[in-house]
Chains A and B, each alone.
Chain A
Amino acid sequence: MESFIATGLIGISLGTQYTLLALGFTLIFGILGVVNFAHGGFYVMGGYVAYYCNVILGLPYPVAVLMAMLSMAALGWLFEAFILERVIEDHQATLMVTMGFYLVMATAILMIFGAESPQFPFPVTGVWRLGGIYFPYANMIVLGACLAAIVFVYWLVYRTNIGRGMRAMSEDLPVASALGMRTKALFPFAFALATGLAGGTGALVTPILALAPHVGDSVLAFSFLTVILGGLGSVTGATCAAFIVGLIEAYAAVYLGGSKGALTLFALVLIILVVRPQGLLGREVRRS
């Protein structure tokens, strides 16, 4: 029973991480109509920025996380405004450009930091114990920070004018712009929000999981999987799906063994998508 609860806590922490990655991914898809293949790159680079600030420059860890968020938001803004925006009308070109940008980011990391995993320990150690339930303080802090970020995203999307504009744009872009929403400003903003979240997640999560130049691959795979499962473009769908994926991954890893975890997850997602091709909360069709 204790291990069941402890595994559940791990699943929920994984769920919050996937939520942050998937929310950004789904915002970019919903608003810009772009599948961002560079999403994992922003996560890894966020991790390395935090590592550089915290370990090499000796800045406090919270400052390092903030730096990672801000720098990745800035990079995302620049990438959208100056590169992606030029090809935004062409679906294939956006795939090529985001994929290419991911390779550039991964290679840049490899050149600067090398292929070896750097030592980037979480600054807080120790384990919280209740009876037989163990939960590391590090995971608890990450869980709390991720939850706060999720609340912030929901507040922004559902309670502010900018969020209303973003939702309107993701439903009907021409009508939204004919009502006065500035796509030229909101596109880079939405992209920067998403990449900032990815960078911040990387900064929070890589010290407790792993930091290496290639970890972006699996991050992209999981973000994509989560968003497809939840329904492309759906904010609530992405959040639900992220927690489902996190919990399945945690329980399968503990009770079925490491490699069977991923297998179970993909099999389950396959079944869900056969029954509901549009995802859990997705719309039937989306105009191009």
Chain B
Amino acid sequence: MLRIDDLHVSYGGTRAVAGVSLNVDQGQTVLLIGANGAGKSSLINAVIGLVKMRHGKIIFDGRDIGNLSSDARARLGIGYSPEGRRVFASMSVKDNVLAGAVTLNGRQQAQSWDRLVASFPFLAERQAQAAGELSGGQQQLVAIARAMSGGPKLLLLDEPFLGLAPVWIQQISIAVRQMQNDGITVLMTEQMARPALKLAHSGHIMRSGLIRRSGSVHEIKGAALAEEYL
């Protein structure tokens, strides 16, 4: 589904990602673990096209997307939930969610909304409220629903647990499981190894822009939990 070959990303003279290769297979959930500044978000942003890669290849669904604009990548079927949520603060919850469904017509948007509301009833309860007035956990759910509303094949979740209370980490985990059951492929980053490892099939530990260890969740668990306290 997604193949990244020898990806390099730099900001000015600083190398954020220094040659990363990885695969995300259809239906799998792959986790990138690492401390702040390890290059996880840069990698995600390079996949959706918000930062330019300096070198490397990004193949999505058999197609080289490295030179496409970010909106073209999104339209190919990549959903994106950014680090720090970044909901459209003054827009209503419903407008936020449907902002992710630009490729759908009105009827399809209504169906997509109904489906998301069935999974997350809170969206309907708060649909007219400005997203900026919600709590952090609620905003995270809105950001994920927004990434889901266009019916993506691949979902990029950047630090979905960042700054959330345990009860919301649980809620978000339930949401991610639901997507997995729907057969959606997920690439997620997280600093908090413990709850994230419960969701993933395999993972990579990143440090200083490089992948240090890869393997199934079982194989990397010990190293990942050690990394969390670095």
Contact = CB atoms under 8 A, between A and B. Distances in A.
Interface of A: 161, 164-165, 167-168, 171-172, 174-184, 283
B207 interface: no
Contact of B88 (A167, A178, A184): A167
A179 B72 CA distance: 9
A218 to B, nearest CB: 31
Given A168-B88, A179-B74, A174 B102 contact: no
Contact of A167 (B49, B69, B80, B91): B91
A180 B69 contact: no
Contacts of A180: 71, 74-75, 100, 102-103, 150
A180 B80 CA distance: 10
Contacts, number: 69
Contact of B69 (A161, A165, A168, A184): A184
Contact of B82 (A178, A183, A283): A178
B50 A165 contact: no
Interface string B128-156: 00000000000000000011001000000
A171 B99 CA distance: 12
Q: Closest 4 CB pairs between A and B?
A: A180-B74, A171-B88, A180-B102, A168-B99
A181 B49 CA distance: 13
Contact of A165 (B70, B80, B102): B102
Given A171-B89, A178-B50, A164 B98 contact: yes
A184 B73 CA distance: 14
A179 B50 CA distance: 11
Given A178-B80, A184-B69, A165 B99 contact: yes
Given A178-B73, A180-B74, 7 more contacts: A161-B109, A164-B99, A172-B88, A175-B80, A177-B70, A178-B48, A181-B71
Interface residues of B, number: 27
Contacts of A181: 71, 99, 102
Contacts of A179: 71, 74, 80, 99-100, 102, 146-147, 150
B115 interface: no
Contacts of A171: 88-91
Interface in B79-114: 80, 82, 86, 88-91, 95, 98-100, 102-103, 106, 109
Interface string B194-224: 0000000000000000000000000000000
A233 to B, nearest CB: 10
Nearest to A182: B71
Contacts of A164: 91, 95, 98-99
Contacts of B90: 167, 171, 283
A184 B75 CA distance: 14
A202 B17 CA distance: 53
Nearest to A184: B69
28 contacts: A161-B109, A164-B99, A167-B88, A168-B91, A168-B95, A168-B99, A171-B90, A172-B86, A172-B88, A175-B80, A175-B88, A176-B88, A176-B99, A177-B71, A178-B48, A178-B70, A178-B74, A178-B82, A179-B71, A179-B100, A179-B102, A180-B74, A180-B102, A180-B103, A181-B71, A182-B71, A183-B71, A283-B90
Contact of A175 (B73, B82, B95): B82
Contacts of B88: 167-168, 171-172, 175-176
A175 B100 CA distance: 10
A226 to B, nearest CB: 20
Interface in B30-78: 48-50, 69-71, 73-75
Most B Cβ at <10 Å: residue of A172, A183, A184: A172
A177 B88 CA distance: 13
Contacts of B49: 178
A243 B128 CA distance: 27
A103 B42 CA distance: 44
B28 to A, nearest CB: 22
Contacts of A165: 99, 102
